[in-house]
Structure 1
């Protein structure tokens, strides 16, 4: 199957405009360091902590850019999306700030903490089965019923431009970065990172990190075309969705390499970060650190930005506690 070309590819000007648009609604998140992890990896790691972001995840950036970029006529119909969690609650947050409805399709298996957050921000949930096929079919019904503006979790130029503001901040906060690594699922954050850094710091290597059990981006990268899994099973619930045309454009053209980690390696990295840095990160966010620990030779001697994408964890179901 031939990969489709995206209709519109956002530019650095879109990222700059997004940053101005969303500044009243987001945090400029801190960058933390850890001498322990530096010693363990042989690299200088700089953790961009989007787990401290509004709504607990980087996805607020893209969601706010999309919501506050709508005309009044578009906004009156509300917004709608499908998401396993962080985009759902981020879009609900943004819609709440603008005072418009938000309709969300979520897998029934999504973490309860994320469902509770969506409801808390005023979002209306319709559940689906945990597969891309079910998600898209149920969403089509919801959108037809509501007429709401679709804000895709990642395959949307407005969302990618918003996510690009994260690495723009990181580049301002840390001088002399050699590399940046972020998780990849659908590819919104990694695309925003590629968009920004390829323009303002083109020498910086960009790595994507992915679970071995949901490694469609890795296989796509090696094959040269999108390979989509329908329902992968991984503890990293935010990374189960496949690349789409827009995000594949950025991955194909700007990512240096994609590295993978096993389920045990992801959980170990998550637990180690909680213990050593005293920060709450969700499993999806532990994948970059897991791949650094697994491949220290790739990063040794380098100054590496690590994007910690979110901290929305179901505290009653921590992955190191076996049921």
Structure 2
């Protein structure tokens, strides 16, 4: 009998395969060559050092937003507010980068901590409402996404600029982007945030799997009633899970502010970094290593999609279909699980 750990590895891989298969069928149905389409996709994601650098760069905030969602999932919570937490984290990091003049060894950690604090505070509100009043976190976090979007836009215009739509640039001492690293990757926008994302992936793995607090959070997520009867504080763990989840999403925003852009601009709509984090967490089976791999796949798909129209004539929107189908098959994992188990039975 196949155990759950093996299934948790096989199902995402099989889902990715099915997603690409459906994408190939769609291409054939509309008269495109799937081999040329996927070759262009691969070329766009990995065909040069520049493309590899861009793929890594696109993956960085997805790792952190995916970790935020996965952390909440493992604790029995659905933090759909990672998008808003990304906004406030981005703003806090840029504010520190613009306002203070400090040595880089202090400035960069200060900006990241400010982003983590902003994201944690933003997530604390739905956490405390869930813990003390039973208000569903999905409802509150959705509303707070819109509050974050419009509040940060207002603060950019009033606090970080003179009525403009873009803040000033952060000080060089606060930037994660260095000319040497970018030159190594063909002058792409890659920055040292990929190291930050790996560090926090290791932290999430260690915290959830190797610490008492992590065990309590997982126990509360699995069965809050049993956890309560065993002496664990369910309310405290709900708030703690949301705060840590929000901090991770806030750091994801910081990677955009002090890494990719070096400033913050007003947004007319959501960035989708937080929402894409839901898909990344699902594909990564809510585990830290899985999230890193899933984020890299999503980064490759999004960067590679830009090369599909000029190299193969396939519309870049095809990649969105592939991503949607991957998410669909992961969400319908019970169907894949049944097929695998039936196949194993017939084999035996």
TM-score (norm 2): 0.29
Higher helix share: 2
Larger RCO (CA within 8 A; separation ≥ 6): 2
TM-score (norm 1): 0.30
Higher strand share: 1
